[in-house]
Structure 1
């Protein structure tokens, strides 16, 4: 009865006892069922989709893929946003699981111990998306970001660029950007090249931020001959700055981003980038959930790795 009162938010329990009950529940990954007794199945036709951001153009495209598949089923996606914060991810997942969804689609394979405990204890299909460099709780769909970083580094080195600067988000929070950077530097090292300058920033991916960082980096290191950005939006800002300064692209200086954002196709030059398979990741994740929720559907986890592709655009030399 005491445990029930704590989990129902009743106030007639001492703080010491409440803390002990909540600590035990967190360790076990236990989430109270807010709809217990309301439905015989103990499930609703919702799919919890937990993503880091809606301002980053990557994730709306993932959502488009998810919705395209679930629209053909009785399942409905409901979205939670974590802002790349592990503690926010725990809170969002806890609240969503309390409504007993039919499945969970969650970005990334790195989570807190409490989040992993909740996912493992949920008893429903779980699909971790965007990344395959790690061990999933259940199923996963994504690309290898380390491989993506290596591929871009190899393409840059093959064209003779040697003085390379890197700009991207602060990586303790953005695991996928960190893995790309690790793959990138690893592949450059095999070519005898080190990153000559680097800069990291907080906040959303913005054109203004890309311009600002590019200007600052070239003042520090004017001999750079290539700039690699962790996403297309800051890369586009850098491209616009370089064009204003009249630099010869890609002969004098090359540059590349990541994600293949379609919005940037109207730029004066097409930015070299890499397709991260966003919409396809969303579709395949939703297909796994839908199939496993279907009567007599498969119950085995799946691990699907998609292959990113480089687009050389107008900012990376070819041959």
Structure 2
């Protein structure tokens, strides 16, 4: 699927901010460089106009004839999440022979941190930006829309992109997992998620999962959310809390494999029959977990391929004959592993 090509954009200039704020370009320059004697009212007017427009100062103005550097900004929510290093490896491998160098910024799933990272990256006039997710603040979105460079939002296709998009449908991923669980005969189902609700992709999987269950007349029996990151220990703790609270559950669906693996270890340590009495599934298809005594049911999130295709777009290798506005949806595959009953 694809979006129509978007009109060529030019980077915003001091003149744009000057016209929007009603003051001279020289005054705008003084405000943005925090220099000169400018009234507080004028300063506020300029800053508000710049923020609304998504204007980012050019730190290399006059330094390079092309006004571009051979850097590609890559903005991701986490480096501790095993998903994103694999995405980065796909990006790095694809850019290796292009002369472009990826530079990484981490947001910790915080919208205001994403704003700050994008502002700093764009001020160096990179050759492109790859950013995880489709949800941004108005200011961040304005900066991306007015950057005048290729933008690729990755990991998710459930929404409207700024420019090009590469990812999977997390809603459909959740729905398909629900269908697989129901087909195996499970009915009393709990959901456990980390980084909720800041992780929009996990939220969308949960919504799709609920939709899949509802189509069969089944509702989520219990939920356990944690705002922190993913870890085996946290998976153990969340699983224990849920099973003590709702002991008749017959399936646990985790927002990612790390807490799912923690849940599997808890079940094994406490003699719970998996998958007979209790089925388990995670998400991401993390290779690190292949050494467990049982293979956790999961779904491959196409991480390396997402990184590779995003880098191809930035490098000017379109897949659909489009320059900008590409939407590439990949299809994740369920691996039932050893933790869902075979039907």
**Shorter-chain TM-score category?**
over 0.9
1:130 maps to what in 2?
A: 155
2:21 maps to what in 1?
A: none
Contact 1:143–1:307 (CA<8 Å) still a contact in 2?
A: yes
Select 1:215's aligned residue among 240, 245, 256. Answer: 240
Select 1:233's aligned residue among 258, 261, 273. Answer: 258
Distance 2:36 2:78 in 1: 35
Distance 2:237 2:322 in 1: 51
Contact 2:196–2:227 (CA<8 Å) still a contact in 1?
A: no
TM-score by structure 2 length?
A: 0.90
1:106 maps to what in 2?
A: 131
RMSD: 1.3
2:74 maps to what in 1?
A: 49
Distance 1:257 1:298 in 2: 35
> More displaced, 77-86 or 13-22?
13-22
Question: SS where residue 87 of structure 1 aligns?
Answer: helix
- Give the Å deviation of 1:156: 0.1
Is residue 142 from structure 1 mapped to residue 167 from structure 2 by the alignment? yes
Distance 1:214 1:146 in 2: 24
Distance 1:292 1:203 in 2: 38
Alignment of 1:298-313 (within 5 A): 299-313=323-337
The superposition leaves residues 143-169 of structure 1 with CA deviations (integer Å, 9 ceiling, x where unpaired) of: 000000001000000010000011002
Distance 2:36 2:283 in 1: 50
Contact 1:48–1:96 (CA<8 Å) still a contact in 2?
A: yes
Work out the number of aligned pairs and report it.
316
Contact 1:292–1:298 (CA<8 Å) still a contact in 2?
A: no
Question: SS where residue 195 of structure 1 aligns?
Answer: coil
- Give the Å deviation of 1:172: 2.8
Select 1:168's aligned residue among 188, 193, 208. Answer: 193
Distance 1:298 1:192, change over 3 A: closer
Distance 1:192 1:25, change over 3 A: same
Distance 2:322 2:162 in 1: 17
Distance 1:55 1:18 in 2: 40
- Give the Å deviation of 1:11: 5.6
1:253 maps to what in 2?
A: 278
Distance 1:90 1:208 in 2: 32
- Give the Å deviation of 1:204: 1.2
The runs of 5 or more residues in structure 2 that have no matched partner are 1-25
Is residue 92 from structure 1 mapped to residue 123 from structure 2 by the alignment? no
Distance 1:292 1:20, change over 3 A: farther
Question: SS where residue 209 of structure 1 aligns?
Answer: helix
2:208 maps to what in 1?
A: 183
